[in-house]
Amino acid sequence: MKKLSILMMSVVMAFGMMIAFAACAETEGQDTEQTKAVAEEETADTDAEAPAEEQEADAEAVSEYVDLAGEYQDEVSQRATATVIANTEAQIVNITVTWSTSASESTEWTMSAVKEGNQLVYSDCVKRSTFMSEDLDDEGEGDEDGMGGGAEETVEYEGGSGSFEISDDGKLLWTGAADEDCTGCVFVKISE
């Protein structure tokens, strides 16, 4: 009888241990599921923060380009003007600089620039010279009374590179230009 009692007690203890192990395994599974859920939530939070931070950085960059947009006048020569147009989608500015040599002659530089630090850097500048003549008609030919008028445009170069330095007070100093006509211009914003 003693042996039977020990055997029964052993069976009861084994059964109890199985129940305990099952409960632990179930709890462990729940803990694992909870741990996974917490980890996924933390990852989602991190992922949500990253795009928000990227969006904030993009918005700040767009704002910088928008702030640069406007009409500028060269304070040195008083003959050159610059028009800066923000292209917020591409995060560049399109710049057109016009220099009037006389009433009948002008030079124009067009370029797209990217902001790098405190500079607007470009490598696609096109320089055009335009000559207006009263002796030319629209096709560039003279007419009988010499009053036809017209414009003759010459592309001087393409693919010019350079930069505008942005000063603390918002002026644009044209520094690394492809030709000497451009160096030393200091553009001051005159309108948005």
pLDDT score of 7: 47
pLDDT score of 101: 81
| DSSP reduced 3-state for 158 | strand
Closest by CA to 148, choosing from 137, 139, 158, is: 137
pLDDT score of 34: 57
Q: Would you mind telling me the total number of residues written for the chain in this entry?
A: 192
Alpha carbons 152 and 80: distance in angstroms, whole number: 20
Alpha carbons 68 and 86: distance in angstroms, whole number: 7
What is the secondary structure of 119-132 as a DSSP string? EEEEEEEEEEEEEE
Q: What is the DSSP letter of 18?
A: H
Are 120 and 163 contacting, i.e. CB atoms less than 8 angstroms apart? yes
Tell me if the pTM is above 0.75.
no
Per-residue pLDDT of the chain (192 residues; tens, 9 = 90+): 555 455 455 544 554 455 544 555 554 445 555 555 555 555 555 445 557 666 665 666 678 888 999 999 999 888 899 999 999 888 899 999 999 888 789 999 999 999 999 999 999 999 999 988 766 555 555 555 545 567 789 999 999 999 999 999 999 999 766 677 667 789 999 987
pLDDT score of 154: 93
SS3 content of the chain, % helix, strand, coil (to 5): 35, 40, 25
Angstrom CA distances, 154 to 92, 126, 159, stand at: 26, 11, 15
Angstrom CA distances, 59 to 12, 30, 68, 90, 92, stand at: 69, 43, 14, 12, 13
